[in-house]
Structure 1
Amino acid sequence: MNKASWQGIFPALVTPFTADDTIDFDLFEKNLLAQVEAGITGVIVAGSLGEASTLTRAEKNELVKFARKTLDKSLPVVLCIAEQSTAEAVSIAKEAESIGADGLMVLPPMRYKADDNETVVYFSTIAKNTSLPLMIYNNPVDYKIEVTLDMFEQLSAYPNIQAIKESTRDVSNVTRIFNRFGDRFKVFCGVDTLIMEEVMLGADGVVGGLVDAFPKETVAIFNLVKAGRYQEALAIYRWYLPLLELDIHPKLVQNIKLAATLMGIGSEFVRAPRLVLEGAEKESVLAVINKAIETQPVLPDYLNLTVDSSVA
């Protein structure tokens, strides 16, 4: 996976389960193929949305192997690392290449709120112990650790740290990164409700959540913005926003799995301690999803667009 591969739409894939709490690989394949048909450019396996915290290491490996076997070699399979100890993170990073991963998305240390230096050492230690390219996940809202521009300056010393998942929810940070580092890092929007804004500001890609249920609309917005066709993108985005807001919620996993179920490419099953939505809570989410399905826009031929170099 070269640096240029970090572009476009990378779904943070959900992990479908059967009723008996094992991974449903048939449904995983069905969702993967729907993503490919829609025009995604890579996938992220076993992230937060993929319920990484309740997956075993063996299960994560099986997901990577299955995705790599299923997808064309041109589509990178990125494994998420979200660990409590540096030693375990390094161990997973070393193993990832042998199981078919093309890259790693690395979260800061879990549970312990590392300071700036500890966080930089954590990321750099992983980078030094693998040849795989890394995306640094910067999400201080959910994980309480911000990777500042000064920290990225230090991390820029490691050539295989190539991309940033920008989830500070401050759209200006996209511009700050480009102003400071030029094209040193590929920048991905990591917040569903900001995908149009951050792509318009020059983001190279999107790590998406609702793309698991509505892949075509997600890719269409990205491609239309990159082609400078803003009004067409905006019409889809305005339709999409109520759905995208289901991603910025503590129960994003249940919400997105429910949406994927209604679209025929997912199931509601989640792994405990998560429980499936029910009652009034489920009805409110269903109302959002059903309204979106009823009013789904007709998409232009978004897979065959000329990219406008001024916004690329």
Structure 2
Amino acid sequence: MTGFNFSDVNLAVTTPFNAQGKIDYSRFELLIERYVAAGVHGFVLSSGTGMHVYLSKEESKELVAFGAKVINGRARVIAQTSALMADEVVERTRHARDCGADGVMVLPPFFEGPTDDQGIIDFYATVSEAGLPVIGYNVPQVVGVKVTPSLFQQLSQIPNFVSVKDSSGDLTDQAALVRTGLPTLNGADPLTPFALFAGAAGLIWGGANMAPKACVDLANAAALKQWENVRAIWQSLAPVMSLIWQGDYVQSVYAGAEIMGYGAGNPRRPLARLAAEKLGPLRDALAPLIEYEAAASS
């Protein structure tokens, strides 16, 4: 395993689309600038929250190239390069490397791919040959592959394999990954402060699109072990981070970011905008953060 350099908040940034459903690069640049100004430590481009599975390979590669150019070393860049075929993952990863990305996030083989440990190890060993730090992605409820502590330890023997993002939403399982002593990234929004207290090495955080300043402040306080400050900030974040995890995650993040002034428009089809009856509860959950973000700007 090579060195780990992905601590603090890595924003799984939304991808904006125009009225015709095409990527809106002007709006994307404005969003990046605002998130950089908020102190975001890193960006995940073509993330799940950024509609990775609904971008073509060409769109994803163009998005990574554009985003990396705009960020221009002011924050770290992680590109999601997941695909069904290993050769395509390698191609996308090499492209991300050439664009200056600091690392890639890659789902294990999915849709009837191998589920045995050796098959997963062989897959990531192939990806690692592209020459960038690789972050595995543990989301067993979607992919059907679970990264156990034993598998994590075996994956860590692969050159360039640096971490696992755990989006299982199970704190017990994540704590078991943390106890390996290997750097684990939390990807489950409602677990954020608990994961950091347990020893998670950093965050890949989609919900941070809605309130980047509060999220960065929380991560910075945790890094200083200022747990009373973490708890105070989390009181404002907890209602919305719990709500969006209950369903319609991507649609909720897009809608919430719009409410908070970090709008990326609507998600791309086949996802629709968040249902009207769910906007009221979302606004209520965001109310403490509107005050927090406004105070942080003053």
By the TM > 0.5 criterion, same fold?
Answer: yes
Deviates further, 209-218 or 99-108: 99-108
1:121 correspondence with 2:117: no
- CA distance in 2 between partners of 1:135 and 1:285 (Å): 31
Corresponding residue number in structure 1 for 2:37: 37
Query: In the TM superposition, what is the alpha-carbon distance from 1:165 to its structure 2 partner?
Result: 0.7
The SS at the match of 2:179 is helix
Task: Summarize the Cα distance change of 1:166–1:279 in structure 2 as closer, same or farther, 3 Å threshold.
Answer: closer
Q: What pairs with 1:155-174 in structure 2 (closer than 5 Å)?
A: 155-174=155-174
TM-score normalised by length of structure 2:
0.90
- CA distance in 2 between partners of 1:297 and 1:77 (Å): 24
- CA distance in 2 between partners of 1:101 and 1:146 (Å): 27
The SS at the match of 1:83 is coil
Question: What is the CA deviation profile of residues 40-76 of structure 1, one whole-angstrom value per residue up to 9, with x for unaligned ones?
Answer: 2111011211111111112112211122111142522
Q: What pairs with 1:122-137 in structure 2 (closer than 5 Å)?
A: 122-127=123-128, 129-137=129-137
Corresponding residue number in structure 2 for 1:57: 57
Q: What pairs with 1:1-312 in structure 2 (closer than 5 Å)?
A: 3-73=3-73, 75-112=75-112, 114-116=114-116, 117-127=118-128, 129-180=129-180, 182=181, 185-289=182-286, 291-293=287-289, 295-296=291-292
Amino acid at match of 1:76: R
Q: Which runs of 5+ in 1 are unaligned?
A: 302-312
Query: In the TM superposition, what is the alpha-carbon distance from 1:294 to its structure 2 partner?
Result: 5.0
Off by >4 Å, runs of 4+ in structure 1: 297-301
- CA distance in 2 between partners of 1:79 and 1:241 (Å): 27
- CA distance in 1 between partners of 2:72 and 2:214 (Å): 22
- CA distance in 1 between partners of 2:248 and 2:229 (Å): 30
CA RMSD of aligned residues (A): 2.2
Task: Summarize the Cα distance change of 1:298–1:230 in structure 2 as closer, same or farther, 3 Å threshold.
Answer: farther
Amino acid at match of 2:144: K
- CA distance in 1 between partners of 2:191 and 2:279 (Å): 25
Query: In the TM superposition, what is the alpha-carbon distance from 1:241 to its structure 2 partner?
Result: 0.9
- CA distance in 1 between partners of 2:186 and 2:77 (Å): 18
- CA distance in 2 between partners of 1:48 and 1:250 (Å): 14
TM-score normalised by length of structure 1:
0.87
- CA distance in 1 between partners of 2:296 and 2:18 (Å): 36
- CA distance in 1 between partners of 2:177 and 2:291 (Å): 37
Question: What is the CA deviation profile of residues 66-117 of structure 1, one whole-angstrom value per residue up to 9, with x for unaligned ones?
Answer: 2211114252211112222222222222332223322110111222253123
Q: Which runs of 5+ in 2 are unaligned?
A: none
Query: In the TM superposition, what is the alpha-carbon distance from 1:130 to its structure 2 partner?
Result: 0.9
Q: Are the counterparts in 2 of residues 220 and 299 from structure 1 also a CA contact under 8 Å?
A: no
**Matched residue count:** 295
